[in-house]
Amino acid sequence: MSRDGERTDPGAGSVRKAPRLWAGRAATAAMVATVVLVVAGALLYDVVAVRAGQPARRWRAQVADELATRHLDDVWVLLGAGVSVLLGGWLLWLAITPGLRRWLVLRPYGGTDAAIERAGIGHLLADRAAGLRGIDHLRIRVGRRRVRVSVSGPVDPAVVQRQLREELGRVGLARPLRLDVRSWRGAAGGVADGAPDQPDDRAGEAAG
């Protein structure tokens, strides 16, 4: 497993486990807080005004009237409930999921945590592949767990696989990506798998 052992000394900080990135959700939270603030503030103002002897504002009487007259099978009520379900589900999703899917965590080094943009990994791989001869078309998709590369032309997929794995090892991800290279060999039309003799990419990457 020495094929990507470029950097086997990740430094003193590597004993620390790389934390997963969690988005702050600041913008959405601020928006929700503003809406709640406006609605609750208006209601509070009106309730206090009514308690102090003023008549209720028109909007509140109107809302109360609509709520009391429209039945549950009214189109607008159903539409509103549908929107409420979608919005609520989206907010819950934002609350639960980590977010920041564009970023992959690198191995921490000392007191520095780092993350790299997935598109950046794609650029590095494309740049490396550009140095190979015999590639007519190249497509690289960097996912969060694996990189899918499809390549066409007379090039040997195993070579592409080896080169790109080396480049991927150079990135230094905390959780290494799997690398799948598929090849469409021009006119022959056959689909060849890049590395049939390497069933476990992760083992190789983790050793690096």
Partner 1 sequence: MRRTVVNRVLLGLVGSVLLGFGVLVLAGGLDLYRRLGVHPPGWWPLTSPDQPVLSARSRRRWVESSWWWPTVIGALAVLVAGMAWWLVAQLRRTGLHRIDVPTPGAGGLRLKVSARALEEALEHGTSVLPEVERARVRLVRAPGHPRLRGAVRLTPGGDPVGLVEHFEDGPRVDAVRSLGLAELPADLRIRVREAPAERRRGRRRHRQLE
Site for partner 1 in 101-140 (CB under 8 A): 103, 106-107, 109-117, 119-121, 123-124, 126-128, 130-135
Nearest-approach distance from CB 191 to partner 1, in angstroms:
23
Nearest-approach distance from CB 5 to partner 1, in angstroms:
13
- Interacting residues with partner 1 between 165 and 184 (CB under 8 A): 170-172
3-class state of residue 173 by DSSP: strand
Question: Token match 């607008």: residue?
Answer: 76
Residue 2 interacting with partner 1 (CB under 8 A): no
- Residue 40 sits at the vertex; the CA angle it makes with 34 and 43, to the nearest 5 degrees, is 140
Please give the size of the binding site for partner 1, defined by CB under 8 A: 81
Q: Report residue 61 as tokens.
A: 């009487």
Closer CB to partner 1, residue 50 or residue 203?
Answer: 50
Closer CB to partner 1, residue 142 or residue 181?
Answer: 142
Closer CB to partner 1, residue 77 or residue 158?
Answer: 77
- Interacting residues with partner 1 between 52 and 111 (CB under 8 A): 64, 67-74, 77-78, 80-96, 103, 106-107, 109-111
β-bridge partners, 110: none
- Interacting residues with partner 1 between 11 and 50 (CB under 8 A): 11, 13, 22-26, 28-30, 32-34, 36-37, 40-41, 43-44, 47-48
Q: In what order do the strands lie in the sheet with 178-184?
A: 137-142, 146-152, 178-184, 191-193
β-bridge partners, 151: 138, 183
Q: Among candidates 195, 138, 192, 185, which has minimal Cα distance to 162?
A: 195
Question: Token match 């109360």: residue?
Answer: 64
